[in-house]
Amino acid sequence: MTPEIAVSEERPLEAGCDALVVGAFQAEESPALTEHGRAVDEAMDGRLGCHLEAIGFKANPGNVVLVPTGGATSAPVVAVAGLGPEPEVSTSQVRRAAAACARSLGHAAVLGSMLHSDGPEGSAAAAAEGYLLGAYRFTAHKTSPPTTKLSRVLFFEAAADEVARGVAYGSATTLARDLVNEPPSLLTPEVLAARAAEIASAGGYTSKVWDADALTLDGFEGILSVGRGSAHPPRFIRLDYQPPEPKAKVALVGKGVTFDSGGLSLKDARNMETMKTDMSGAAAVLGAMSALAALQPQVHVVGLISATENMPGPDAMKPGDVIKHYGGTTSEVLNTDAEGRLILADALAYASEQGADAIVDVATLTGAIMVALGGKCTGLFSNDDSLAQELQTASEKEGERNWRMPLFDDYASELESEVADIKHIGGRYGGSILAALFLRRFVGKDIPWAHLDIAGTARSDSASDESPKGGTGAATRTLLAWIEGRG
C-alpha cells in the first residue's frame, strides 16, 4: 500500500493520528529534542526526555524509538527519529529519518509528521520522499502480502507545493522500483514499451516506439544484434516532455535489458538470478519522465530506451561478429555478455542527432564498477566538468551517492580492432573505464555527456531506511534534480 501524503492545518498535539513523528539531535550527554519534540515532551510533563535518556537513545540518523504518550496528546504514540548532530543535519538525514519511521510504523494507519520543521530548506520535500521510499514494498505477486496499515501521512506546518514536489520524486522512484522488480517473463521488451507509452499518455507527452522492422529500416543494428537470440523482439522507445518555452533540451538514455542470460557467453546460474534488474537504467529514465508533468521544469526532455533481452537462441549474436551501429560506426563483438554498451551505442548516436544541450545515460553496465566502488555508490563518467558537477550536486541533494571516475584517453588503445572501427571490450583491468570510453565513441562531437554506471546501486541485497531489498530505483531522483536545475 502506498500511503497518501497530505498537508494538515490541525494542531499537531490535537490531530487525529496514530503516531506523532518528531526529531532529535545527537548531543554529548543525552539527545536534544527538536522544537516540536520539546512541545510533546512538555505535554508529557518531561517523560519523553526522561525515557530517551534512560534507554540511552543516541539519535543517530536512521534510529527510531516509539514512546507511549499516556494520553498527553491525541496520538497514543510519539516516534522520535534520530537526525544526527544538529549542525550537520541535511535533507538527506531528514529523508532517511522519515524512511526509517515508515519502516517502523507499519502498524499505524495515520502518521502526523513534524520531522521537516527543524531541518534545512527542502526538508518537507525530503521527508515526503522518505515516507514513500520507506513504506515501499513489492507485493504484486504475493497471495498473502505482509500486512501494513500505514495509509496516510499528515504534514503539519508545511508548504503544500514543497510536499507535492517530494511526492513526485518519491512516486517516480517507486515506479522505477516496480519496473525493476517485475518478473522478466512479464516485463518483456514489448511490455516495457507499452508501459512507456502509458506513462507518456498519462503525462501528456508524445511517444514513439520502433519495432524490429523499424529498427532494421533505420539501422539500429546494435539493438537488433543483442535481441537476435530472444523470442521477444527488441524495441527502441522515445518519450518527449516539451514545455511551451523550454530553456534547455536534454536527452536521457536508459539501458533496458529486460533479462540478461549473457547470450552465447552464458552466465553461470548464480550470476543470472538477478538479471531481471538489468533494465534498471531504463526504469530510472521512465521514473524520471513520469514525474515531469507534476514538476513542470522548463526543459525539453527526450527520454530514450533501448529495450531487449539477451538470450542464447538459434540466431544469437556470436563472439567475433561485427555490428554496424546507428550512425555507421562498426564494433567487433568479443563477449556477448557485454551487451549493454552495444544497445546504448545506438541510442547515444541517435541522441546526438537530437540537438540536446547534454546527454546523460544510465545503465547497469559493469561488474567492474562494483569492484571499484562497492554496492552503494554509482560511478559517474563525463566528458564535461560542468555537467559532472551538476550531476554530483543533484545526487548529493537527493542522497544518492556517486563518485566521478576517469576517462583516460590512452586507455582507449585497448579498444582498437583489426576488423572494425572499435572493439567493444578491452583487457581484464579498468573494465568500467573501458566501457565508458566505448560509449564516448558514439557521442557527437562537443556534446556534453555523462554516463552513470549503476550496476552496484540498482539493486540491494538487504533493506535499510530508504532502500528496500531488490530494485532501488537508483538515479531516478538524481535525474529529476538535475533536470530541475537546468530549468
Catalytic residues: 267, 341
Grid cell 538470450 is found at: 311
Which secondary structure element, helix H or strand E, spans residue 71, and what is its range? none
**301-to-171, 247, 393 alpha-carbon distances in Å:** 19, 11, 19
Q: Going by C-beta distance under 8 Å and a sequence separation of 6 or more, which residues neighbour residue 398?
A: 92, 169, 477, 478, 480, 481
**180-to-2, 252, 270, 345, 474 alpha-carbon distances in Å:** 17, 18, 18, 22, 10
β-pairing, 378-382 vs 449-453, is antiparallel
Grid cell 584517453 is found at: 409
Residue 188, number of CB atoms within 10 A of its CB: 21
Grid cell 518555452 is found at: 245
DSSP state of 381: E
Exposure string of 23-52, with b = 16+ CB inside 10 Å and e = fewer, is bbbbeeebbbbbebbebbbebbeebbbebb
Which secondary structure element, helix H or strand E, spans residue 192, and what is its range? helix 189-203
**In angstroms, rounded to a whole number, what is the distance separating the alpha carbons of residues 370 and 449?**
22
β-pairing, 152-156 vs 64-68, is unpaired
